């Protein structure tokens, strides 16, 4: 599978580093963006130190790119102003750069936390109303809305991946439902980057094939990837894995508590 020229924002992050290593063998050219300086590690890599809030720099770095995987931004709860700048404005600049550079496909990293207040006993699909569990979740709702806007108004092909708990291995009871393995991460990313551009806009949960998951796996018509890993195979090593989950508790677990957000609000 030849992917052409692929740009990855947030390439220095946990997911970005894993994806970078996988894509460098399949992309003709890999354009890597992060506000943290990166070193070129392969002949087909091109690195850029870019703050995604700088629209001009983003547009310049994405010149000549075929598709974009947008992972950059703040990855967790923070004051709303910071999230709006890093996640919402940053995403707007990436989408606008794609429009101006004629890039057809943009894959946006959304989050399972846009629906964190659904109960664990409810199998949640991407078409259901959003129920964010905090300010970070709100910022990712806005990211998805921007993707929908650029698909509807400007004809970009946008795929939003609602990423689960990305970990090398599951380590806590919640991960038995939410784990996203590195192998499945790469599978979802490749499928999203190579999906037909006739897919104008879609949102899918990027989660491993966990027996206890509470999100719907994508249909083949939405994204041609079937996850292969299951957190249940590691359950014996996870303390508390044998205790049944409360079906009425929020899927977000501790992220849904007031305390998780209150520390980021004014006293």
- Assigned domain for 47 exists: yes
Integer Cα distance of 219 and 152 in angstroms: 22
- Assigned domain for 121 exists: yes
- 1 pLDDT above the threshold of 60: no
163 has which bridge partners?
111, 206
- 3-state class percentages of the chain: helix first, strand second, coil last, to nearest 5: 35, 20, 45
Q: Residue 240: give the domain boundaries.
A: 5-262
Q: Which residues are known to be catalytic?
A: 136
Please, what's the b/e burial string for 87-115 (b: 16 or more CB within 10 A of its CB; e: otherwise)?
Answer: bbbbbbbbbbbbbebebebbbbbbbbbbb
Structure-block tokens of residue 76: 């967790």
- Assigned domain for 267 exists: no
Mean pLDDT of 128-132: 98
Share of the chain above pLDDT 90, in %: 95
Q: pTM above 0.85?
A: yes
- Assigned domain for 37 exists: yes
CB 115 within 8 A of CB 128: yes
DSSP summary character for residue 28 = S
- Assigned domain for 44 exists: yes
Max distance between CA atoms of the chain, in angstroms, equals 53
Instruction: Please report which helix (H) or strand (E) contains residue 61, including its range.
Output: helix 55-61
- 2 pLDDT above the threshold of 70: no
End-to-end CA distance of the chain: 53
- 68 pLDDT above the threshold of 60: yes
CB 108 within 8 A of CB 98: no
- Assigned domain for 243 exists: yes
pLDDT in tens, 184-235: 999 999 999 999 989 999 999 999 999 999 999 998 778 999 999 999 999 9
| Number of domains, the chain | 1
CATH number of the domain enclosing 103 = 3.40.50.720
Query: Reduced to 3 states, what is the DSSP secondary structure of residue 137?
Result: helix
- Assigned domain for 226 exists: yes
Q: Residue 266's pLDDT band (boundaries 50, 70, 90)? A: confident
**Nearest 5°: phi and psi at 28?**
-60, -45
């Amino acid at each position: 599978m030849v992917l052409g020229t692929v740009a990855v924002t947030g390439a220095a992050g946990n997911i970005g580093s894993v994806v970078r290593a996988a894509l460098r063998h399949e992309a003709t050219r890999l354009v890597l963006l992060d506000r943290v300086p990166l070193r070129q590690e392969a002949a087909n890599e091109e690195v850029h130190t870019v703050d995604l809030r700088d629209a001009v720099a983003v547009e310049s770095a994405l010149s000549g790119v075929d598709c974009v995987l947008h992972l950059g931004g703040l990855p967790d709860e923070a004051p709303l102003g910071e999230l709006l700048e890093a996640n919402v404005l940053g995403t707007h600049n990436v989408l606008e750069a794609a429009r101006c550079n004629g890039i057809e496909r943009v894959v946006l990293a959304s989050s399972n936390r846009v629906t964190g207040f659904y109960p664990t006993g409810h199998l949640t699909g991407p078409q259901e109303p959003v129920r964010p569990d905090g300010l970070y979740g709100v910022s990712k709702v806005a990211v998805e809305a921007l993707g929908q806007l650029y698909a509807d108004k400007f004809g970009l092909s946008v795929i939003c991946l609602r990423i689960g708990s990305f970990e090398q291995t599951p380590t806590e009871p919640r991960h038995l439902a939410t784990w996203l393995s590195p192998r499945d991460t790469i599978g979802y990313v490749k499928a999203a980057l190579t999906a037909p551009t006739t897919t104008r806009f879609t949102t899918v949960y990027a989660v491993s094939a966990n027996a206890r998951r509470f999100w719907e796996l994508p249909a083949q018509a939405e994204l041609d990837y079937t996850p292969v890993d299951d957190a249940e195979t590691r359950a014996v090593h996870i303390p508390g894995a044998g205790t049944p989950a409360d079906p009425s508790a929020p899927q977000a677990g501790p992220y849904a508590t007031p305390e998780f957000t209150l520390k980021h609000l004014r006293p």
